[in-house]
């Protein structure tokens, strides 16, 4: 068996079909002509980590247990990050795998084939017991255990940022600046604080500088990213943490500023099981690297917060794409049999930031991805692999995001949720004895059920009527444009087949209509004063809405035409000619999922929240 998958996160069928009609997608159009192109039915909710996990397992969240970015511990209502769950053990807080269901990769390995998964979401930390080779995608944290917090060093003491670490750049003598990077948190004589690493920045002129950090000396040109470099933090007498980052000199006139990407795990010096096996990481790093390791390396937060410009952001996306292509080609050229899959997610970030205002930029990326498909196919031919299975798929499409919906405010206004402190309205300040429903994550509503929730109020006979009532009201909700805000509300059993995780899932899955999406505050369980707010963020488009409004795509060199309505459930069959038997899964124990008091800190850097 030889099976290749190229995953294009967020590749939208509507945009593809329009460009294809104009003849601008020659390679994908020709692949579609061979045996198939179809819109792909994606699971609910159409979030990246949910959707790729559903594709990998051929099953919905009831089986794999990833329902939304944010879950809650029902006994305490305390949220945690679904793709980065932790447990407290004797050695402190540890990351645990977000799910245990079988995947296309583990099944291929069980059948005796090599399997490689590149940048697939929710595969951090590595499952060292499985014989699959992984470089993980979305959900991989930085060296501080956050989903990516960059550092902005500035000589202007008045500058502040919400989600970016601001560092002081002090002028020690004319044109010479000093600052300190803040690494992993550690115990020091002065208490628990980040390990520091001094750096100096010497301006040569308005356009050039020299950055010195640790043993590294880098020439910088204004507005251009440095190569990836290593920094080493001392955490104690014998403990070091090596991280990787890139820097960009952004201002030299009036004030001086330099931005550092989030400090990322060095794959060969990681304290956590980053990828697997070590020999695979080493081989990839030395032959096709270096590469960024953060799950969300395209720094949308730095762009949103004005640390970098549109062009600098796009340059970063380009270099990430070029590196990933190189890694994919390297493993393709060494592939004898088995499965090779890679997720390319720059298009997702580009659409979030540019679909509303710069369609030309987005279309350029569709052309670029089409070119990549052509290059992979030529390489397959020259490697004698033209008979191998070849699939191109996306996890969902894309729509504009014009209005933010504060769903907990709506629940409060309709007397389903009662806040004890209306000025700081959020799930931390709720009169639970007067509440019957709450929203958490981008598409989830939970009822406050007696015996399940810590302070539940609803008896079993009240559940069905309450679900029906909330569903009807939400479907009737109109926005400022006069249109429906929500186009689908699925009950748990409508959204998911049965599975061992079903009882942990939301009671209602909310499918926003195009132009609408849950606010970031809703995702975190908060409730600002208005129910609907206009979205003026740079992040102007999204996909965490009604799954029927954002289907994905599927191209393959065989089989597609024979499957009537292709969905994520068909992907194992298409990839490895086999459906996966998930009957081995046991219901999760109550103790394995713990709330994370620091969830906002942890989620910083994930643009959705
Ligand atoms: Zn996605």
Distance 448 CA to ligand 1 centre (A): 30
Q: pLDDT tier at 597 (50, 70, 90 boundaries)?
A: low
H or E segment and range at residue 437: strand 437-439
Mean pLDDT of 542-560: 95
Distance 387 CA to ligand 1 centre (A): 29
Distance 422 CA to ligand 1 centre (A): 34
Distance 168 CA to ligand 1 centre (A): 36
How deeply is 244 buried, as exposed, middle or buried, from its count of CB atoms within 10 A (0-12, 13-18, 19+)?
buried
Q: What is the pLDDT of residues 410-446, one digit of tens each?
A: 999 999 999 999 888 999 999 999 999 999 999 999 9
pLDDT score of 147: 92
Residues 69 and 508: beta-carbon distance below 8 Å: no
Sequence-distant (≥ 6) Cβ neighbours of residue 343 within 8 angstroms: 7, 9, 52, 118, 119, 120, 121, 137
**Residue in 343, 393, 374, 332 with CA at minimum distance from that of residue 28:** 374
**Residue carrying structure tokens 């009950």:** 491
Distance 397 CA to ligand 1 centre (A): 8
Distance 552 CA to ligand 1 centre (A): 9
Q: What is the pLDDT of residues 215-224, one digit of tens each?
A: 999 999 999 9
Distance 553 CA to ligand 1 centre (A): 12
Distance 348 CA to ligand 1 centre (A): 6
Q: How far apart are CA 127 and CA 275, in angstroms?
A: 8
Distance 10 CA to ligand 1 centre (A): 5
Residues 55 and 571: beta-carbon distance below 8 Å: yes
Distance 80 CA to ligand 1 centre (A): 20
Distance 183 CA to ligand 1 centre (A): 29
Distance 395 CA to ligand 1 centre (A): 5
CATH number 3.30.300.30 given to 2-46+105-140+295-397+550-578: no
Helix axis angle, 359-382 to 346-354, nearest 10°: 170
The pair of structure tokens assigned to 131 is: 């014989």
Sequence-distant (≥ 6) Cβ neighbours of residue 410 within 8 angstroms: 474, 477, 531
Distance 374 CA to ligand 1 centre (A): 22
pLDDT score of 192: 85
Sign of CA dihedral 452, 458, 463, 467: negative
Q: What is the pLDDT of residues 398-409, one digit of tens each?
A: 999 999 999 999
For the domain 402-547, what is the CATH code?
3.30.1360
Distance 16 CA to ligand 1 centre (A): 16
Q: How far apart are CA 349 and CA 11, in angstroms?
A: 11
Domain range annotation of the chain: 2-46+105-140+295-397+550-578, 151-264, 402-547
Q: How far apart are CA 25 and CA 309, in angstroms?
A: 29
Pairing of strands 115-120, 133-136: parallel
Mean pLDDT of 25-45: 93
Distance 280 CA to ligand 1 centre (A): 26
Q: Is residue 107 helix, strand or coil?
A: helix
* % residues pLDDT > 90 (the chain): 87
Check residues 19 and 94 and name the one with the higher pLDDT.
19
Distance 318 CA to ligand 1 centre (A): 18
Distance 293 CA to ligand 1 centre (A): 18
Q: Spell out a b/e string for 426-450, using b for 16 or more CB atoms within 10 Å of the CB, else e.
A: bbbbbebeebbbbbbbbbbbbbbbe
Q: What is the pLDDT of residues 146-198, one digit of tens each?
A: 999 999 999 999 999 999 999 999 999 999 999 999 999 887 778 888 999 99
pLDDT score of 598: 79
Q: How far apart are CA 226 and CA 332, in angstroms?
A: 28
Q: What is the DSSP string of 28-83?
A: HHHHHHHT-EEEEB-PSS--HHHHHHHHHHTS-HHHH---SSEEEETTTTEEEETT
Distance 50 CA to ligand 1 centre (A): 9
Q: How far apart are CA 213 and CA 179, in angstroms?
A: 10
Q: How far apart are CA 228 and CA 167, in angstroms?
A: 20
Specify the range with the lowest mean pLDDT, choosing from 7-16, 182-191, 236-245: 182-191
φ, ψ for residue 511, nearest 5 deg: -105, 100
φ, ψ for residue 475, nearest 5 deg: -70, -20
Instruction: Indicate the pTM of the whole model.
Output: 0.96
């Amino acid at each position: 068996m030889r099976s290749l998958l190229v995953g294009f996160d967020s590749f939208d069928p509507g945009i593809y079909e329009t460009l294809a009609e104009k003849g601008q997608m020659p390679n994908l159009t020709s692949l579609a002509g061979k045996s198939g192109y179809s819109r792909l039915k994606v699971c609910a909710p159409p979030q990246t980590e949910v959707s790729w996990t559903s594709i990998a397992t051929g099953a919905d969240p009831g089986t794999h247990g990833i329902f939304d970015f944010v879950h809650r511990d029902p006994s305490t209502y305390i949220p945690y990050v679904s793709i980065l769950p932790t447990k407290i053990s004797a050695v402190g807080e540890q990351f645990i795998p977000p799910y245990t269901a079988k995947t296309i990769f583990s099944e291929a390995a069980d059948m005796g084939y090599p399997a490689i998964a590149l940048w697939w979401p929710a595969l951090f930390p590595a499952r060292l017991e499985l014989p699959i080779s992984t470089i993980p995608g979305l959900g991989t944290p930085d060296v501080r255990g956050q989903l990516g917090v960059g550092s902005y060093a500035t000589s202007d003491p008045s500058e502040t940022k919400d989600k970016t670490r601001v560092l002081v750049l002090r002028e020690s003598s004319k044109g010479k600046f000093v600052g300190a990077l803040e690494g992993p948190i550690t115990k020091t004589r002065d208490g628990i604080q980040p390990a520091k690493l001094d750096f100096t920045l010497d301006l040569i002129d308005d356009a050039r500088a020299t950055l010195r950090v640790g043993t590294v000396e880098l020439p910088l040109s204004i507005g251009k990213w440095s190569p990836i470099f290593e920094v080493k933090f001392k955490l104690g007498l014998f403990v070091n943490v090596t991280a990787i980052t890139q820097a960009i000199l952004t201002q030299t006139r009036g004030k001086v500023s330099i931005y550092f990407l989030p400090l990322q795990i060095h794959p060969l010096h990681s304290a956590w099981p980053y990828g697997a096996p070590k020999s695979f990481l080493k081989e990839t790093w030395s032959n096709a690297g270096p590469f960024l390791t953060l799950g969300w390396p395209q720094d949308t937060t730095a762009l949103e917060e004005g640390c970098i410009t549109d062009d600098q952001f796009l340059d970063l996306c380009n270099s990430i794409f070029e590196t990933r292509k190189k890694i994919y080609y390297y493993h393709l050229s060494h592939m004898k049999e088995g499965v090779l899959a890679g997720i390319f997610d720059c298009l997702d970030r580009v659409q979030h930031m540019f679909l509303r205002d710069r369609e030309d930029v987005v279309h350029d990326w569709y052309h670029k991805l089409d070119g990549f498909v052509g290059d992979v196919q030529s390489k397959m031919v020259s490697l004698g692999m033209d008979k191998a299975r070849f699939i191109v798929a996306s996890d969902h499409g894309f729509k504009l995001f014009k209005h933010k919906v504060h769903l907990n405010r709506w629940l409060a206004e309709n007397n389903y949720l009662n806040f004890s402190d209306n000025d700081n309205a959020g799930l931390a300040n709720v009169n639970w004895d007067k509440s019957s429903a709450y929203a958490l994550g981008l598409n989830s509503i939970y009822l406050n059920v007696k015996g399940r929730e810590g302070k539940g109020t609803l008896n079993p006979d009240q559940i069905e009527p309450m679900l029906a009532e909330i569903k009807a009201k939400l479907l009737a909700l109109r926005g400022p444009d006069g249109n429906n805000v929500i186009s689908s509300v699925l009950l748990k059993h409508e959204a998911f087949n049965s599975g061992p995780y079903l009882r942990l899932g939301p009671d209602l899955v909310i499918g926003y209509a195009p132009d609408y999406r849950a606010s970031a505050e809703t995702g975190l369980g908060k409730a600002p004063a208005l129910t609907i707010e206009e979205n003026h963020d740079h992040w102007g488009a999204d996909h965490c809405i009604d799954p029927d409004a954002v289907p994905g795509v599927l191209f393959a060199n065989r089989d597609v035409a024979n499957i009537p309505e292709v969905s994520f459930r068909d992907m194992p069959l298409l990839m490895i000619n086999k459906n996966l038997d998930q009957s081995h899964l046991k219901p999760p124990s109550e103790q394995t999922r713990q709330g994370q008091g620091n969830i906002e800190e942890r989620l910083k850097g994930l643009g959705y929240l």
